[in-house]
């Protein structure tokens, strides 16, 4: 059984709100596509790992002591329909039926920085998967 890395995500609603002045609507389809592919429990683990931001993949590999495709299936990553997508400049949040994901725009496109996240009132999200 994989260890679960739990720590606060540095991106809270307040911090995210300060990152940009509004939603970049042209980015919504790309963000939603990456989040949906990543959260697909039947998806190929190697392809899902390719959707992680480099720091997130490195943290997972280090924490679990095995390559990402072996570690990812053991994490409590939720799935379900997309409930909302918010984009602020180079950062995004996708709320699924069973999870909340955070993404960042990289030179390779949108990549997941945190997943299996739970909101806490007036505190940062706690995520089982996140980069440093």
Q: Which residue range(s) make up the domain with 71?
A: 7-130
Q: pTM score, two decimals?
A: 0.81
In the block, residue with structure tokens 């007036």:
122
Q: Where are the beta strands (DSSP E) in 74-120?
A: 82-88, 91-96, 100-106, 109-120
24 within domain boundaries: yes
What does the alpha-carbon distance between residue 88 and residue 96 come to, in Å, rounded to a whole number?
18
1 within domain boundaries: no
For the chain of 132 residues, list the mean pLDDT of each consecutive stretch of 10.
Answer: 48 41 70 95 95 97 96 91 94 95 96 96 94 78
2 within domain boundaries: no
Structural domain count of the chain? 1
Please check whether residue 53 is in contact with residue 106, taking contact to mean a CB–CB distance below 8 angstroms.
Answer: yes
Supply the CATH number for residue 31's domain: 3.10.450
């Amino acid at each position: 059984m994989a260890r679960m890395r739990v720590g606060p995500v540095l991106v809270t609603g307040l911090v995210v709100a300060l990152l940009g002045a509004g939603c970049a609507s042209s980015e919504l389809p790309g963000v939603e596509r990456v989040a949906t592919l990543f959260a697909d429990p039947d998806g190929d683990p190697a392809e899902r790992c390719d959707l992680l931001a480099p720091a997130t993949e490195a943290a997972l590999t280090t924490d679990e002591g095995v390559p990402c495709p072996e570690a990812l299936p053991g994490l409590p990553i939720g799935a379900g329909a997309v409930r909302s997508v918010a984009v602020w400049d180079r950062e995004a949040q996708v709320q699924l039926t069973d999870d909340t994901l955070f993404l960042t725009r990289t030179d390779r496109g949108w990549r997941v920085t945190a997943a299996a996240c739970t909101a806490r009132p007036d505190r940062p999200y706690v995520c089982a998967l996140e980069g440093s």
